[in-house]
Amino acid sequence: MSPDRAVLERAVERGERQGGSVEFKERLEKSVHLTDGRRESLVAQLRHRILSGDGEATYVVGVTDDGGITGIPRESFSESMDVLSLLAEEADAHIEDVDTWGVDGGIVGLAAVREGAVLETDDEHVVVGTAGHVDHGKSTLVGTLVTGQPDDGEGGTRGYLDVQPHEVERGLSADLSYGVYGFDDEGPVRMDNPHRKSDRARVVEKSDRLVSFVDTVGHEPWLRTTIRGLVGQKLDYGLLTVAADDGPTKTTREHLGVLLATELPTIVAVTKADLVDADRLEAVEREVERLLREVDRTPLPVGRHGVDAAVEEIGETVVPVVRTSAVTREGVETLDELFERLPKTAGVEGRFRMYVDRTYDVKGVGAVASGTVMSGEVEAGDELLLGPMADGSFREVEVRSIEMHYHRVDHAKAGRIVGIALKGVDEADVERGMALLPRTADPTPVREFEAEVVVLNHPTRIRDGYEPVVHLETVSEAASFYPEGGQLLPGDSGRTRVRFKFRPYLVEAGQKFVFREGQSKGVGTVTDITPADD
């Protein structure tokens, strides 16, 4: 018997007792259990169970009143969770966690219901995209920021960022950032153990201001993943790391180019200051400053000019530079102050829009699409459109529930990194690059668009039919280029027609994108769209 199954068996053994916190339900149906008289009775029952459990009740769904494990079909279990969520809301409580097991009759599940309403997300939430060459201390620095713990000199704190979403038991967290901390009236709110879902949820719940990190990959072969992390999220700032014992590299330049091409206000952290002497540290800082001036940016050493100047000046032309060490924690307080004070930059106006970055199939819940809310707001129960599908169509879906950093929320605004459980679609039909929009939207699937591009690097020249991979929002798709005038040279800027090779996507004028193929790289802005053809 697995430990997971043991949890279920222990709950069943405890059973429904007068004055106990466990409740058995074979199923909960909207047409039966949400009628006026029944609803009030069930809410009162839930409150009683929560009080008996000192603030937490356990609902076992898919069992008979005497504890017989029968299981129910997947759709019935999903409906039961919807009903239980509504009952919990009326009881001023929320579903904190759900475990499910497959049985011959379908699914049996255990839901932990805790007192207190679901988290409100009106607080500021700043999202930071990290970049930097491999072994330049990017993940280690972020690990020290979110925990407050100094590194052991071997990159130990970077292990706090290695929890992949598919390893999370429920698969609903959408923890794309790999790190989160926050601030309240007393200062930083950090994680004690980032591997515990409850610890991350505590940070989200307690903080008045959240800082999430979208951690990218430093190896050159995975530049595609880095681009997806920087282009496909609703980022407010970029954090580029340069190791003091190595200095700027080719990868450093490429990552800086992507950050600046997307017009992201950026901070450079010179890391591993503890490994070099003062002369070497100053020499690397001068290299960083030269690199920034080469791309028409003004470096602002925060140690010399102060945090006030950095907060006031950071933007399209000014890049603050901070000297740091994850081992000695040098510069950590400076970064704390910056992230606490820097304003949110990502816009929040307009209709709801989210591009799908990852998908999961959660037993008993169904399809879950995760990503960053790009604009507008979404609530549980909203009716949405998902697509475009390969044929250009959009499918009607409904929002079952929303989670942010392991915490159930009732709505999410632009900039939030969330997982949205969807009703009306199978996980196999949800793909990265698709978009979620309000059902009232009239989206246009796009197979081809016009763009202004800048060729950052190319061995010869770009001609008609050139086929790089285009990274736009979370879309990563091969496309054919047809430059105006027939060609583009390295360093050139100009207009081109871009056509996705295999299928249409949701593309809008003004969106930024990156394209690459081998050593060839460039950036662009969508200027006009052509509706998808038949």
What does the alpha-carbon distance between residue 38 and residue 25 come to, in Å, rounded to a whole number?
14
244 in a structural domain: yes
347 in a structural domain: no
Same domain? 313 vs 398: no
Eight-class DSSP state of 343: P
Residues 450, 495: contact at Cβ < 8 Å?
Answer: yes
Same domain? 427 vs 452: no
- Domain of 362, in residue numbers: 353-438
What pLDDT is recorded for position 347?
Answer: 57
What does the alpha-carbon distance between residue 435 and residue 420 come to, in Å, rounded to a whole number?
12
Same domain? 144 vs 290: yes
- The tally of CA atoms less than 13 A away on the side-chain side of residue 385 is 19
362 in a structural domain: yes
| Domain finish residue from 438, 472, 488 | 438
- The tally of CA atoms less than 13 A away on the side-chain side of residue 452 is 7
CATH number for the domain harbouring residue 336: 3.40.50.300
What pLDDT is recorded for position 1?
Answer: 38
Same domain? 72 vs 99: yes
360-399 pLDDT tens trace = 876 666 788 988 888 888 998 899 999 999 999 999 999 9
What pLDDT is recorded for position 3?
Answer: 40
Same domain? 192 vs 216: yes
What pLDDT is recorded for position 67?
Answer: 83
Q: Say if strands 318-323 and 266-271 run parallel, antiparallel, or are unpaired.
A: parallel
346 in a structural domain: no
Same domain? 167 vs 263: yes
Same domain? 277 vs 410: no
Same domain? 256 vs 199: yes
Question: Could you give the 3-state DSSP secondary structure of residue 202?
Answer: helix
CATH number for the domain harbouring residue 476: 2.40.30.10
CATH number for the domain harbouring residue 47: 3.30.110.10
Task: Write out the DSSP string of 2-25.
Answer: -HHHHHHHHHHHH---TT-SEEEE
Residues 298, 317: contact at Cβ < 8 Å?
Answer: yes
| Domain finish residue from 412, 438, 464 | 438
12-65 pLDDT tens trace = 777 777 778 999 999 998 888 888 778 889 999 999 999 898 888 999 998 888
Same domain? 66 vs 34: yes
Same domain? 138 vs 33: no
What does the alpha-carbon distance between residue 37 and residue 505 come to, in Å, rounded to a whole number?
48
* Cα dihedral: 483, 487, 490, 493 (round 10): -40
404 in a structural domain: yes
What pLDDT is recorded for position 384?
Answer: 96
243 in a structural domain: yes
Same domain? 317 vs 234: yes
Retrieve residue 12's tokens. 């069943």
Retrieve residue 85's tokens. 């969520």
Residues 26, 70: contact at Cβ < 8 Å?
Answer: yes
Greatest distance between any 2 Cα atoms in the chain: 81
Same domain? 336 vs 369: no
| Domain finish residue from 96, 115, 134 | 115
pLDDT (tens, 9 = 90+) of the chain, 534 residues, equals: 344 677 777 877 777 777 789 999 999 988 888 887 788 899 999 999 998 988 889 999 988 888 888 888 887 887 888 788 778 878 878 777 778 888 877 888 888 888 865 545 444 678 888 888 878 888 889 889 989 988 877 665 655 554 443 323 332 323 334 578 889 989 999 987 766 666 766 787 788 888 888 765 433 433 444 444 445 456 788 899 999 999 999 888 877 877 777 778 999 999 999 999 999 999 999 999 999 998 889 999 999 999 999 999 998 899 999 999 999 999 999 999 999 999 877 555 679 999 998 888 766 667 889 888 888 889 988 999 999 999 999 999 999 888 876 567 778 887 777 889 899 999 899 999 999 999 999 999 999 999 988 887 656 678 899 999 898 888 989 999 999 888 887 777 789 999 999 999 999 998 888 888 776 677 888 999 987 664
What does the alpha-carbon distance between residue 23 and residue 66 come to, in Å, rounded to a whole number?
11
What pLDDT is recorded for position 519?
Answer: 64
Strand partners, 238: 129, 266
367 in a structural domain: yes
Number of domains in the chain: 4
What does the alpha-carbon distance between residue 171 and residue 2 come to, in Å, rounded to a whole number?
19
Long-range contacts of 188-191 (CB under 8 A, 24+ apart): 188/148, 188/336, 188/340, 190/146, 190/147, 190/148, 191/146, 191/147, 191/160
